[in-house]
Amino acid sequence: MSIFLGIDVGGSGIKGAPVDLETGELVGERLRIPTPAKSTPANVAAVVKEIIEAFEPVIGDAPVGLTIPAPVVHGVVTFIANLDQKWAGVNADKFFEEKLGRKISLVNDADAAGLAEVHFGAAKGNDGLVILTTLGTGIGSAIIHRGVLIPNAELGHLELDGHDAESRAASSIKDKEDLSYKKWATERLQPYYSHVEMLFSPDLFVVGGGVSKDWDKFGPLLELNTPIVPATMRNRAGIVGAALFAKDSVEHPDPLVEHAV
């Protein structure tokens, strides 16, 4: 089977669609439902159930991939920032499976975007070390080596010149401090990417987030030894990456999930 449902849970909206994983294309129109104001696991599960039921004729009883804006360690949400704090410490894989009656595989949202870019987007065909960063409210990140995800990297929280990196270089800081693209690129992004490059020596950087649509205004100003390119999957990335993660959970089940605290 090549069609899996991916659902992308964000702070403002929950979006889902079946994905043909042979092509990376959505099968039909995506369904978007606003994230409940009180975004507890139970309330989010109710919305996820609605999306699953809408696409059940297409996906049957296949596992579903679900992104969440938080680290996910063997199914457990270790901490949460942009959803209700009741998520923290929850074995979300198990919670959703019990609520929805089918296998659910949770993945960090930046990790999902990274998987999508490697398999179908800007990093397709690169079998080395790829680092995706999403420049937004903070800096999300994903590390993929030879197509295999190394989960829960938080490279936005590297300490740089005594500061949490994302507190200086995120695109929200550019807007908050009214920085020009040139000043942001040369004084904030350049030190950040140079530091990450020194630590990891990647084969490719991929830059996502809404600001990537303005790549021509800042990308060419960055001077690195590593090629750096804008992401291409745009708002499909989370859905497609979640579907990829669901497929992988079938092919490579995690034996530690049942024993996670």
Whether the per-residue pLDDT at 247 is higher than 60: the answer is: yes
Domain boundaries, the chain: 3-111+236-259, 125-232
Q: Please compute the mean of the pLDDT values over residues 231-246 and round it to a whole number.
A: 94
Whether the per-residue pLDDT at 256 is higher than 50: the answer is: no
Cβ neighbours, 10 Å, residue 200: 16
Whether the per-residue pLDDT at 21 is higher than 90: the answer is: yes
Contact 106, 66 (CB under 8 A): yes
CA 182 to chain centre: 27
pLDDT at residue 257 in the model = 38
Contact 245, 115 (CB under 8 A): yes
Q: Please compute the mean of the pLDDT values over residues 100-105 and round it to a whole number.
A: 92
Q: Please compute the mean of the pLDDT values over residues 238-246 and round it to a whole number.
A: 96
Q: Which fold has domain 3-111+236-259?
A: Nucleotidyltransferase; domain 5 (3.30.420)
- Structural tokens at position 2: 């090549």
Would 3-111+236-259 and 125-232 be classified into the same CATH topology?
yes
Tokens 């949460």 identify what position?
80
Whether the per-residue pLDDT at 254 is higher than 80: the answer is: no
Whether the per-residue pLDDT at 123 is higher than 90: the answer is: yes
pLDDT at residue 85 in the model = 94
The model's confidence at residue 259, banded by pLDDT at 50, 70 and 90, is: very low
Tokens 């209700």 identify what position?
84
pLDDT at residue 172 in the model = 94
d(CA 221, CA 236): 27
Q: Please compute the mean of the pLDDT values over residues 16-40 and round it to a whole number.
A: 96
Contact 158, 114 (CB under 8 A): no
- Structural tokens at position 155: 């490279």
Q: Which residue type is seen at 261? A: V
pLDDT at residue 193 in the model = 98
CATH 3.30.420.40 fits 125-232, yes or no: yes
**Of 80 and 218, more confident:** 218
What are the CA-CA distances from residue 211 to residues 41, 148, 171, 172 (Å)? 30, 26, 7, 10
Strand order in the sheet with 129-135: 148-150, 139-145, 129-135, 204-208, 228-230
- The pTM (predicted TM-score) of the whole model is 0.90
